[in-house]
Amino acid sequence: MEKKIKSIILAAGKGTRMKSEKSKVLHTIFNKELLGYVIDALNGTGLTEENYVIVGHQAEAVEEYVNKNYTNAKCRLQSPQLGTGHAAAQAYDDLKGFEGDVLILCGDTPLITTETLKKFIEAHRKSSAALTVMSAIFDDPTNYGRIVRDENGNLKAIVEEKDALDAQKKIKEINTGVYLLDWPRVSQSFLEMDSNNAQHEYYLTDIVKWTIKHGLKAQSFILENNEESFGINSKKQLAQATKILKERTLDKLFAQGITIIDPETTYISPETEIDTDTIIYPCTYIEGKNKIGKNCKIGPFARLRGDVELGDYVKIGNFVEIKKSKIKDHTNVSHLSYIGDSQLGSNVNIGAGTITANYNHITKEKFQTVVEDGASTGSNSVLVAPVKLGENSSIGAGSIISKDIEANALGLTRAPLKIFKDWFEKMKK
């Protein structure tokens, strides 16, 4: 498995049923794009040398996302869009002379895992097949292309639903749209495709027909968990995939000794790491990439928005929102607070209703708040970034702090109290 792989990711479709102007592959689960899940699963194998993303609808937006987030991925435009085979062929020129394997898959399948891709690659290489297609078994295979086998059980063809005969429609083994090709042996198939079918499109499945016709070995690899083949074509399916990812993540965390009080109302992203004996209370939502220490308490009704790192014995209260912040050991962030773009030391106490005002809406800039060890804020404090609270400093309740507070000092901006006697009786008159 040392030989490198290049991949082709099909991401050109509009996704009409999504009812959205946004490209289907840029819709998110836990604030991560569908396409990102696929590329990360590929890169996780450690075998992908280059990934070619085939773009079409909202091509500029997809390409911007790819270029911003991945150094080993390049976009290739499909225009006009003449089918899946035509889409994959857009990377043909890039692969001229390549002597390795080419993995083709769809950009709207966020449930595919690195582990499955590794097994798929291993099965392909052990068999010395020219082509391996990933298949799955479904009780209801409607709308999927069917895996057709000969009398000896060998792969014979893949037939699309619209072209399938009645007997073929009863087949429960379906094509997931993932292929692994020995490129030197199969690449010629892309030059010999035709559009002689119901849709008058160039089907990617025709490469299977070509491989078999030329006496080369083609086989299928059946998924252990058919959920991994789940493609997103609607907002309902997006929600279903989110729930599957949630359940998969919670099961993993339970096995690691994490206490989750109410799994039904708790959502945690797959990229969040949590150490032992931490307790997650109900109605907590954690998205993006985060690292949470041991013996922490989070929630209920808390939200971590990504790029959050919590030390050990940290307490995040109810209705607290945190993003892009690092919080050290034994620090408490009390209820109804917002902490963004911040560095909080150890043994810090953030009073209820404390806000880090980190965003300038005119310049679109974000600034950092630093709270050093042992500092504390009173309830309803506003820390206007950039600002620093020194070690063991304190902020009086209701204060707006826009300047640095030195160590051991008290910062207070509270207006003097005024009392108007007999005010109620005067107002009645």
Q: Kindly report, residue by residue over 34-75, the tens digit of the pLDDT.
A: 999 999 999 999 999 999 999 999 999 999 999 999 999 999
Contacts of residue 283, Cβ cutoff 8 Å, sequence gap at least 6: 262, 265, 266, 299, 300, 301
In this model, does residue 1 exceed pLDDT 70? no
Q: How do residues 95-152 score in pLDDT, each as one tens digit?
A: 999 999 999 999 999 999 999 999 999 999 999 999 999 999 999 998 899 999 888 7
Q: How confident is the model at residue 216 (pLDDT cuts 50, 70, 90)?
A: very high
Mean pLDDT over the full length of the chain: 95
Parts of the chain belonging to CATH 2.160.10.10: 235-411
Catalytic residues: 335
Q: Which fold does the domain 235-411 belong to in CATH? A: UDP N-Acetylglucosamine Acyltransferase; domain 1 (2.160.10)
Identify the architecture of domain 5-229 in CATH.
Alpha-Beta Complex (3.90)
Parts of the chain belonging to CATH 3.90.550.10: 5-229
Residue percentage of the chain with pLDDT more than 70: 100
φ, ψ of residue 259 in degrees (nearest 5): -90, 120
Q: For residue 23, which of 73, 69, 57 has the smallest C-alpha distance?
A: 57
Residue percentage of the chain with pLDDT more than 90: 86
In this model, does residue 210 exceed pLDDT 60? yes
In this model, does residue 242 exceed pLDDT 80? yes
Q: How many CB atoms lie within 10 A of CB 50?
A: 16
- pLDDT score, position 151: 82
- pLDDT score, position 2: 65
Q: How do residues 182-204 score in pLDDT, each as one tens digit?
A: 999 999 999 999 888 777 889 89
In this model, does residue 21 exceed pLDDT 70? yes
